[in-house]
Structures are given as structure tokens and as C-alpha cells.
Amino acid sequence: MSSVSCHYVLAAGGTGGHLTPAFALAAELEKRGHHVALITDERGAAIPGKPDFLPAHVLPAGRFGKNPLRWPAGISAVMQGRSMAKRLYETFQPSAVVGFGGYPALPALLAAKSMEIPSVIHEQNAVLGRVNRLLAGRVNAIATAYPDVDRLKAKHFPKVHLVGNPVRPEVLALRDEEFPAFTADGLFRVLVTGGSQGARILSDVIPDALSMLQPALRSRLQVTQQCRPEDMERVRDRYADYDIPAELGTYFENMQERLADAHLFIGRAGASTIAELTAVGRPAILIPLPIATDDHQTVNAREMVKAGGARSIRQPMSTVADPYRRGTSEKANRLQKQQEDILQKMSTEISRQIQAMAQRPDTLATAAHAAWNCGRPDAAEKLADLVEGFGATPIQDVIRVGGKAKPSEGTAAATAKTSATASAKDRA
């Protein structure tokens, strides 16, 4: 840890997936005596959870879709944001700029490059995001949450550091608690979430899936499920028809307490979700969002599934449309029937996987142990150590020699091996 107080700028898009690790790093750097500022968009500046000490600067950030006609406007916004970032850096004089993905990070990192300010990008997913792919060749270091990251070019491997994905302190505090007792005749608590807005597919298939469980397991169910407001009534009615006790809500403020009590999690495979499940050690059935960019949620689930901490079930793209939208034509009715058949098959597969994971009291505990071993609880500290290397002391692990990056043992593969060994020893 540096004894010199430095200034750092963090840049992130306005979603929880980008901002949660940014807030965690800001808290760690502030705890170490540094000054931190945030660059984001309007949505990010207003998102809940931003530390009070962290000033937010809103910059224009152009978006580049598939329509080339919109690219000039996007480029113009990026260049405007780059100019504004440069003016901020002239005043704030950061020792480094750290990007967490999302379009607001692009002008911030380009400004840092033009002013020869050291820079780092942090990738939360197991697939390098679009903005981070654009910046990978321009930054001094790349911090990753997974040991294997798709779309990351081999030429950038020497500056890759596996640090993990920082999680909220209140969730991290659960890591040392034991997995809740799961006995042959005790309650079976299932937590179902679909992100901040819920996921309609889970409202469609989970009640049916749980109703298919063998009576001995089904009779012990206690379900907590997050739903969209428009789905709440029909989901509640379905659970009532099946006589399954369920607590439903559009948002649970005490989510960490729900996670602490859960024997099984069912939900999406977003980066923050995976990080929290592995930090706490909770087995999961993951249903990756099929329209996620580069199918990154499917790749996010890979490590946890391979370790035995989760099962991954594919959601067909055809279920993205609303199966409850009634059509008047024969074709519309036929398509609706096809969707209903797909949902039924998903429910059956989910039920089968739940039954397999919960068939014996020790099966879920073993999966929880596997999930726990995938966790990287010191992610915020490791990321801060890396960033702090750009302050008054030489950069850690990546040493600039003759204008080239000289790799050390801080590469993702070496760090992953060390982390896995340490986790196994700690858990034992």
C-alpha cells in the first residue's frame, strides 16, 4: 500500500454491472487515503449505492450501433467527452484512470492516453466487452474477473491481471458463514431473481418447474422470487394453485439476507450475480440471458459450472417474445403453441436439475463448497494494489522497459493458479 496520497479517476457506464466494482474500488482507494472521482453518464450519476465521498462527472458518450448513419454523431460525442475529460485531468491531475466498461469509459480512457496518463481497464465478464476491446491496446494493464476471457487477443496477455470482480461489503461479510443446514426433513429455501427488472422467463417457468418436484422435496419448499410488477398476480396465483409457499416482490432491499438463507439460487448469469454467488458460496441453476452481447452470460457461467457449483440451462431465443400476446391468425396461434411447448420443456429440465442437486442433503452442500472455491473475495484489494502502482511507486507486475510491457507472474493464468490453490487451502 502506498503511503503517498494520489488522485485517481474511475470511468464506468451507468449500469450496476459496471458501477458496482467501480464503487468498491473507490471505497478501497479512499480507505487508503487517496482522492477519487467518477466519470459516468446521467444514469450512472443517479444510481443508488454511489459513495458520498465520490464526485460524479457526467460526460457525453456516443453509442455505436449497427446503423452506420449514426456513427458520425457517436464519434462527435466521444470527441466532446474526450475534451471535457482532458480539462478535468488538468485540474484533478490523476495518477491513473481506470475504466470499467460502458461507453462513458471510452472518452475518459482516450483522454488519458492522449495526455500520457497511465490507465487500467477492468473487465467484469468472461468475454471482453466492446469498449474494452477498443481500449485493450491503449491501456497499461487489463484486470479481469475470470482466468479465461474470450475476445482477448493473445498479444495483450502480458498485461493481464486476474483480480476478480469486487462485490458489496455486506455480501462479502457472508463468506465466512456456514452454508445453511439442509436436512432430509427441513425447509428447502429457493431464491429466484432476474436482475433489477426481474426476468419474465423465470415467472413463466419456475412455478411449473417447482410443481414437478417429487412430493417429498416439494412439500418442504419455501420460495422467494423477484418478479416484474405486471407478472406478480399471475405468478402468485400459480404458486397458490400448486400450494407452494412463496414470497414475491419487485425488489428486496435485504437481498444479502435472502442470499444468506438460500439453499439454492435460480437466476441469470450476470457478472455481479456470479461474483456474489461465489463470494458467499451458494449453488445455482443459471439461465443466461440469450440476447446478452456476445452471449457473455453463458461464458460467465462456465467456470462455476465446471467447478460443480452450478448448472446452466439454455433459454431459447424464441422465448424472448411475449408468449401471452394473443394473436388472431392461425400462424400467431401456432407460434404461441410452439412457445408454450418450449416453456414446458424448460420447466421440465429445470425441475430435473433441481431434483438432482437436492436429492441428498450433502449434494447441495458439496455444490456450495465448489461455488465458494470459485470466489475471489479480495478482488477490491487486488485491483487497488494494481491501480496504486501507478502512483508514486513503480507500476506493479507490468514494468515498462524500452516502451514495451514486460510480463511478470501477474498474468491471468499464473494468478488464477495461485488463487485457486489458496482458496482450496483456506476452505479446507
Structural domains of the chain ordered from first start = 7-165+377-427 (3.40.50.2000), 171-373 (3.40.50.2000)
Cα gap 414→39, rounded to integer Å: 32
Conformation bin of residue 217: beta by default, left when phi > 0, alpha when psi is -120 to 50: alpha
Cα gap 190→172, rounded to integer Å: 20
| 396-421 average pLDDT score | 37
Contact 77, 97 (CB under 8 A): no
pLDDT band, residue 265 (cuts 50/70/90): very high
What per-residue confidence (pLDDT) applies to 307?
98
* Close Cβ partners of 359 (under 8 Å, ≥ 6 residues apart): none
| 393-405 average pLDDT score | 37
Using DSSP, state whether 226 is helix, strand or coil: strand
pLDDT band, residue 369 (cuts 50/70/90): very high
93: cell is 491531475
Q: Is the pLDDT of residue 416 over 80?
A: no
Using DSSP, state whether 142 is helix, strand or coil: strand
Question: Mean pLDDT: which of 76-85, 374-383, 395-404 is highest?
Answer: 374-383
Cα gap 256→261, rounded to integer Å: 9
The CA-CA-CA angle for residues 164, 167, 145, to 5°, reads: 20
Burial of residue 112 (number of CB atoms within 10 Å: 0-12, 13-18, 19+): buried
What is the average pLDDT value for the chain, to the nearest integer? 87
Contact 325, 230 (CB under 8 A): no
What per-residue confidence (pLDDT) applies to 395?
42
Give the range among 58-72, 309-323, 402-416 with minimum mean pLDDT.
402-416
What per-residue confidence (pLDDT) applies to 75?
77
Cα gap 294→152, rounded to integer Å: 13
Instruction: Give the residue carrying C-alpha cell 400448486.
Output: 242
95: cell is 495518477
Q: Is the pLDDT of residue 398 over 60?
A: no
What per-residue confidence (pLDDT) applies to 217?
96
- What pLDDT, in 10s, does the model give residues 218-259? 999 999 999 999 999 999 999 999 999 999 999 888 889 999
Cα gap 303→19, rounded to integer Å: 23
Q: What is the dihedral of CA 415, 421, 423, 424, to 10 degrees?
A: 160
- What pLDDT, in 10s, does the model give residues 158-209? 999 999 999 988 999 999 999 999 999 999 999 999 865 558 899 999 999 9
Burial of residue 156 (number of CB atoms within 10 Å: 0-12, 13-18, 19+): middle
- What pLDDT, in 10s, does the model give residues 6-61? 999 999 998 889 999 999 999 999 999 999 999 999 889 988 889 999 999 998 87
Contact 363, 149 (CB under 8 A): no
High-pLDDT (> 90) share of the chain, % = 72
